[in-house]
Structure 1
């Protein structure tokens, strides 16, 4: 099992939702934390709460990951504070819904920056240091959307397909170095992800953030390369793209998007 107590984890998108759940779960395991998100006040409040409740050291970094130099700023802050990161949780993610051509191109670029560019940059920066020390871990949040094209969330699904492929390849490359890489592929989760979206998804059809975080860490402890921390029906849905013709998979995915109300 990964040596959590006394080690340090960096979590992106840590101020709410799944990132916040990871922060609570890792603090309960005795990890010191570097919390990264855009919302500085919420982040600082969480950092103080975790410090009080679990007695761990917490650092809040208010950084907008949509900026092209976000990873460099994080690296500079870690160096300035002399913080060594043992576990990277690339949790932050953006997801636009609706027709691709209806979106502001800059928002599409921001989605790719947060979901892909920062994840790759931090994996390289912190993964390099971990391999030199001979220990560490990287958890990248992919999605059940990683397994098929998803009309009305076209860019989001494409970025998550990248995350899954990248993580599996990186885990193979780092085998034997003492650094374990895992992609987590949850399904719909009860977070703020769908806030402001006209979706018909009921909370009872979603997994809780706490459940997803707990199951993800359990899979990480078992050295899984890919985790499916959702209900069995979510895992079963990922098999369709492997069994059915691609044009049919896209049509089924489009029907699901419309049923969820993501097309408008």
Structure 2
């Protein structure tokens, strides 16, 4: 059976690379992003290049209505899920993209990738900004994983990939704390649901050549060239580790070494080194 892969934050960076690599494998896709035009352009390119079916859901995952549409799509093949998906499709029609559908083949792979960074330290940020940041990195992926499991568990198969970060192994403010939560959750969930045929992996990249840092206003020039990774490599290694049943994937040997050192080095040193990045 062809996998159907739902990817959040699918039009740029690591999310777009996941979409390309899954499409190259012949998987059908459900792409989720906020902006309609880039979403439809990405979908059209993938359909043309790889001949796969691509659904789109234009949704802001920090908006209750947008999140509800994606949850409904994940539950579409769960017991009682088809009716819920249809209702959500009607309710969300005004915010849908041109190619959007809320029903279809059951989602067999969920990639929780949507997210962003904050530049200012916690105490200097507005509390509302920090709460939204926590929601997109913890509450939203947990909600989507819960909905995916409703559909995957009766089939006794499925895959959930949570894009976390090496920051989750370091004292790195609220971004690192949120990613640490997803690493911990993925470790537990891979054990808990692995016996039911469901794999859960936290993908933990370091610095990756994407637009992530530009969007958050971070200075990329302060990072040594040796620490930058290509998004294609990150996704390939993540998919390989997921297929092997690993709960945590840290792409590249250099970051494997650095995360190991982070466990034993002084926290003050690790915090300085981890001050910027994904």
TM-score using structure 2 length: 0.84
Please tell me whether the aligned partners of residues 190 and 203 of structure 1 are also in contact (alpha carbons under 8 angstroms). no
Please tell me whether the aligned partners of residues 67 and 113 of structure 1 are also in contact (alpha carbons under 8 angstroms). no
2:42 pairs, out of 40, 43, 46, with: 46
Give the paired residue count: 248
**SS of structure 2 residue aligned to 1:89:** strand
Q: What is the 5 A alignment of 1:1-264?
A: 6-77=2-73, 79-80=85-86, 81-83=102-104, 84-150=106-172, 154-195=173-214, 196-199=217-220, 200-201=222-223, 205-229=227-251, 231-244=252-265, 248-249=266-267, 251-257=268-274
RMSD (Å) for aligned C-alpha atoms: 1.8
Distance apart, 1:72 and its partner CA: 1.7
Q: Deviations along 1:196-229, whole A, 9 cap, x unmatched? A: 2234225663101111111111111212121111
Distance apart, 1:68 and its partner CA: 4.2
**SS of structure 1 residue aligned to 2:263:** helix
* Structure-2 separation of matches of 1:257 and 1:173: 31
Distance apart, 1:28 and its partner CA: 0.5
Name structure 1 gaps, 5 residues minimum. Answer: none
Please tell me whether the aligned partners of residues 162 and 186 of structure 2 are also in contact (alpha carbons under 8 angstroms). yes
* Structure-1 separation of matches of 2:62 and 2:211: 18
* Structure-2 separation of matches of 1:202 and 1:46: 31
Please tell me whether the aligned partners of residues 158 and 199 of structure 2 are also in contact (alpha carbons under 8 angstroms). yes
CA distance 1:69–1:241, change in 2 (3 Å): farther
Please tell me whether the aligned partners of residues 187 and 247 of structure 2 are also in contact (alpha carbons under 8 angstroms). yes
Name structure 2 gaps, 5 residues minimum. Answer: 77-84, 87-101
CA distance 1:69–1:172, change in 2 (3 Å): farther
CA distance 1:241–1:256, change in 2 (3 Å): closer
* Structure-2 separation of matches of 1:44 and 1:31: 18
**SS of structure 2 residue aligned to 1:125:** helix
CA distance 1:208–1:149, change in 2 (3 Å): same
* Structure-2 separation of matches of 1:175 and 1:97: 37
* Structure-2 separation of matches of 1:76 and 1:220: 25
* Structure-2 separation of matches of 1:203 and 1:65: 33
